[in-house]
Amino acid sequence: MPFSFLFLSRKINPIVPENQTQFNEFILLRFSEKPEQQGLLFGLFLGIYLVSVVGNLLIMLAIGSDSNLHTPMYFFLSNLSFVDFCMVSTTVPKMLVSILTENKAIPYADCLVQMYFFMVFSALDSFILTAMAYDRFVAICHPLRYTVIMNPKLCGLLVLLSWITSILYSILLSLMVTQLSFCTEHKITHFFCELAEVLKLSCSDTFITYVLLYFITGLLGMIPLTGILFSYAQICFSILKVPSAQGKYKAFSTCGSHLTVVSLFYGTGFGVYLCSLVTHSSWKKTVVSAMYSVITPMVNPFIYTLRNKDIKNALRNLISRVSSSE
Q: Within the chain, what is the greatest distance between any pair of CA atoms? A: 74
Closest CA to 294 of 77, 92, 126, 31: 92
187 membership: H or E segment, kind and range: strand 187-188
DSSP-assigned beta bridge partners for residue 107 = 25
Residues 213 and 199: beta-carbon distance below 8 Å: yes
Q: Is the dihedral of CA 97, 103, 109, 111 positive or negative?
A: positive
One digit per residue, pLDDT tens: the chain, 326 residues?
Answer: 443 433 343 333 444 444 344 557 888 876 666 667 778 888 989 999 999 999 999 999 999 988 888 999 999 999 999 999 999 999 999 989 888 888 888 888 899 999 999 999 999 999 999 999 999 999 998 989 999 999 999 999 999 999 999 999 999 999 988 888 887 668 888 888 888 888 888 888 878 888 888 888 788 888 898 999 999 999 888 888 877 777 677 777 777 888 888 888 888 777 776 766 565 556 667 777 788 888 888 998 888 887 778 888 888 888 888 777 66
Domains of the chain with CATH codes = 3-13+25-325 (1.20.1070.10)
| Interval 159-191: pLDDT, tens | 999 999 999 999 999 998 888 888 766 888 888
Phi, then psi, of 150 in degrees rounded to 5: -90, 60
Q: Is the dihedral of CA 160, 166, 170, 173 positive or negative?
A: positive
Residue type for position 194: E
Phi, then psi, of 219 in degrees rounded to 5: -65, -50
Determine the Cα–Cα distance for residues 152 and 71; give it in Å rounded to an integer: 9
Residues 194 and 115: beta-carbon distance below 8 Å: yes
The DSSP 8-state label assigned to residue 294 in this structure reads I
Residues 173 and 122: beta-carbon distance below 8 Å: no
